[in-house]
Amino acid sequence: MTSILPSAAIYEGTRIPSRVPTILDVDPAKHDPEDILRVNFGPNHPSTHGVLRLVVDLDGEQVAGIRAVIGYLHTGFEKTMEHKSWWKSITYPARIDYLSFHSNELEYVLAIEKLLGIEVPRRAIWARMALAELNRIHSHLVWLGTSALEIGAISLFWYAFDDRDAILDLFELAGGTRFHTRYVQVGGLAEDLPPGFTEEARRFCEQMPRSVDEYEALLDRQTIWLERTKGIGLLSAADAIALGQSGPILRASGVNWDLRKNMPYLFYDQVEFDVPVYYNGDVYDRYKVHMDEMRQSVRIVRQCLDRLDETEGEPWIADDRKVVLPPRHELHTSMESLIHHFKIVTEGYTVPEGEVYVVIESPRGEAGCYLVSDGGPRPWRVKFRPPSFAALQATATAVQGCLVADLVAVAASLDPVMGDVDR
Amino acid sequence: MTEYAGVPGLVETREAYGEVTLVIDPARIVEACTYLRDVAGFNMLSDIAAADYLGWGEPGVAGYIGTSDGRDLNAPGSQGHARVPDPKPKRFSVSYHLLRISDDPARVRVQVWLDDGESVDSVIRVWPAADWFEREAWDLMGIRFEGHPNLVRLLMPDDWEGHPLRKDYPLGGEPVRFSEEEA
């Protein structure tokens, strides 16, 4: 096993700004204050992946200072969820990080299940894993398409969105909607996977690795792409950890860390896959990590599909009538089922008192959910740990020495989803 | 559990749901966090989560749904509590979730308890990642972090009044533009 931390650093010492870690102040020793031009980049700008605002101090084309301003998409999800029953609030997390909807839903449901101590049937766990990995590919494809678009590689956007569509078709097949599926239910899944799902998913798994090869061929031999990504947006392993970075950003800085391997949850300890690690900590390496992760996710999906075929016909949700909705057909014949249905839908189920912090490896990295329950039918406090939020804290460190044109590439490589940042 | 015995300012160690919580004296939080980083190896700050326990255990408040006039649509007693939850020492808790990225990975929750108006020292010099997390806790929950170099609002507009995630800040308390009658 290779060690977790890299042996060589990308640059000497730390580059985190000393006054405020997230604000790069103009250094009067390097730049004449007379030459500085302050520019607002965003919040309404097509290449900011939503409504990110960067206040940039420019010296000619050089970025001399930067400050990220967020909050333009703050909608108060956490406050709203405190006012919904546990059962109803499951719809919200998917809308926080709208690209990794399934992962967010999963993380919230896993936290509720931890408080409840409910056991989930294995078929449901394999289905959750298969969909989580499909969701990862989906999120990475959107990242790839939009990031390449921003640097000028327009055609890749259409290719990537074609494959993304195939994944959304699979989600539609499983949950009935293309995203924000609310397919994960406390205790298991909302419904069993439909017949034919594994065949469709296998067809996708056949085609996807070929697509990744094609995308890589399109970009890796293109001088413009290489020149605009290599050596740009440097982040050393020590700085990345200090700034709370996770997921692909951390692995591109040489840290061999993936929660699926290092602190396994679901059945990730029972599947074979590799964790891609790159050591230069630049935009190019973050791109390479994303590409390799898509290949590895296909590998995991294949193994999950085999297990789903083996567990065909097994239960897909726990048999706990105090928490899980009774089967629809029983409502017409059983008084008790009708009462349970009524109680769960109106009042909701109660969750034992306590606090938990559940973290999973979402497409963007460490996605955490802190839950406090007072023993009632509603969450007392819900707090999400958004990986994009932490990622944007690294802008002031990563853009040092960049030109204004690189700004777009660096911001995109941090893969922020503004819904996730602002909640 | 014994590996945390030497943490400075340790008030109480709790273990529930397989998670370790270290309750720390707020006055010694920086000391405790420096110890956890340098001696116990918790190199990453995963999250800072503040929670407001106003009305904890009182029926009705948990599901307080109101407007700026304070209208409570929920009848007290309809909360479905099986039992009254254990009392909390103070109104606010701030939980620092730490992660050890090493061959021996671990998570730990460091918790301090504060009353309204009390503040806690910033851990921004221990983990730079604390910057936005502390600003968010100030913005939404009104927790003051002493020594933070830039403790201003993060998610809400700069001129916002109040801290929306507090339990006494009602849902629907946000003013709606153009809804006032013209004089």
The residues near B49 (Cβ < 8 Å, ≥ 6 apart) are A357, A370, A381, A383, A385, B94, B95, B97, B137
Q: In the predicted model, what is the mean pLDDT of residues A144-161?
A: 87
Q: Of A151-160, A332-341, B19-28, B166-175, which range is least confident?
A: B166-175
Domain range enclosing A196: 77-422
**Chain A residue closest to B78 (CA)?**
A347
C-beta atoms of A357 and B155 within 8 A: no
Chain B interface mutation, best of A345, A355, A395, highest count of B Cβ atoms under 10 Å: A355
The residues near B166 (Cβ < 8 Å, ≥ 6 apart) are B52, B54, B141, B142
Q: In the predicted model, what is the mean pLDDT of residues A230-248?
A: 90
Please report, in angstroms and rounded to a whole number, the separation of the first and last CA atoms in chain A. Answer: 38
Is the confidence at residue A48, as pLDDT, over 90?
no
- A274 falls within a domain: yes
Please report which confidence band the pLDDT of residue B1 belongs to, taking 50, 70 and 90 as the band edges: low
| pLDDT, tens digit (0-9, with 9 covering 90-100), for A388-415 | 999 999 999 999 888 988 888 888 888 8
Is the confidence at residue A307, as pLDDT, over 80?
yes
Name the residue ranges covered by the structural domains of chain B. 2-70+91-146
Look at residue A141 in the predicted model and tell me its pLDDT. Answer: 93
- A249 falls within a domain: yes
C-beta atoms of A423 and B79 within 8 A: no
Please report which confidence band the pLDDT of residue A135 belongs to, taking 50, 70 and 90 as the band edges: very high
Rounded CA-CA distance B31/B121 in Å is 10
Does the N-terminal peptide bond of residue A43 adopt cis geometry, omega within 30 degrees of 0?
Answer: yes
- A68 falls within a domain: no
Look at B83 and B102; give whichever has higher pLDDT: B102
Look at residue B29 in the predicted model and tell me its pLDDT. Answer: 92
Contacts of residues A15-19 at CB distance under 8 Å and 24 or more positions apart, as own/partner, are: A15/A234, A15/A236, A15/A239, A15/A397, A15/A400, A16/A239, A16/A242, A16/A243, A16/A396, A16/A397, A16/B128, A17/A396, A17/A397, A19/B149
High-pLDDT (> 90) share of chain A, %: 43
Greatest CA separation found in chain B?
A: 68
- A355 falls within a domain: yes
Look at residue B158 in the predicted model and tell me its pLDDT. Answer: 87
- A245 falls within a domain: yes
Contacts of A263 in chain B (CB under 8 A): 105, 107
Number of domains in chain A: 1
Q: In the predicted model, what is the mean pLDDT of residues A131-143?
A: 93
**Chain A residue closest to B83 (CA)?**
A375
Contacts of B150 in chain A (CB under 8 A): 20, 23
CATH of the domain at A205: 1.10.645.10
| pLDDT, tens digit (0-9, with 9 covering 90-100), for A283-297 | 999 999 999 999 999
| pLDDT, tens digit (0-9, with 9 covering 90-100), for A91-132 | 999 988 888 899 999 999 999 999 999 999 999 999 999 999
- A50 falls within a domain: no
From A43's Cα to the closest Cα of chain B, the distance in A is 14
Please report which confidence band the pLDDT of residue B68 belongs to, taking 50, 70 and 90 as the band edges: very low
Chain A interface mutation, best of B20, B132, B133, highest count of A Cβ atoms under 10 Å: B132
From A297's Cα to the closest Cα of chain B, the distance in A is 23
What interface predicted TM-score (ipTM) does this complex get? 0.89
Please report which confidence band the pLDDT of residue B175 belongs to, taking 50, 70 and 90 as the band edges: low
Is the confidence at residue A203, as pLDDT, over 50?
yes
| pLDDT, tens digit (0-9, with 9 covering 90-100), for A352-388 | 889 999 999 999 999 999 999 888 788 889 999 999 9
C-beta atoms of A375 and B19 within 8 A: no
| pLDDT, tens digit (0-9, with 9 covering 90-100), for B72-85 | 444 333 444 556 67
Q: How many CA atoms lie within 13 A of B60 on its CB side?
A: 11
Look at A282 and B86; give whichever has higher pLDDT: A282
Q: In the predicted model, what is the mean pLDDT of residues A34-49?
A: 80
- A338 falls within a domain: yes
Look at residue B46 in the predicted model and tell me its pLDDT. Answer: 92
Is the confidence at residue B60, as pLDDT, over 70?
no
Please report which confidence band the pLDDT of residue A205 belongs to, taking 50, 70 and 90 as the band edges: very high
**Chain A residue closest to B152 (CA)?**
A69
- A63 falls within a domain: no
Q: In the predicted model, what is the mean pLDDT of residues A8-17?
A: 81
Q: What CATH topology corresponds to B2-70+91-146?
A: Beta Polymerase; domain 2 (3.30.460)
Is the confidence at residue B67, as pLDDT, over 70?
no
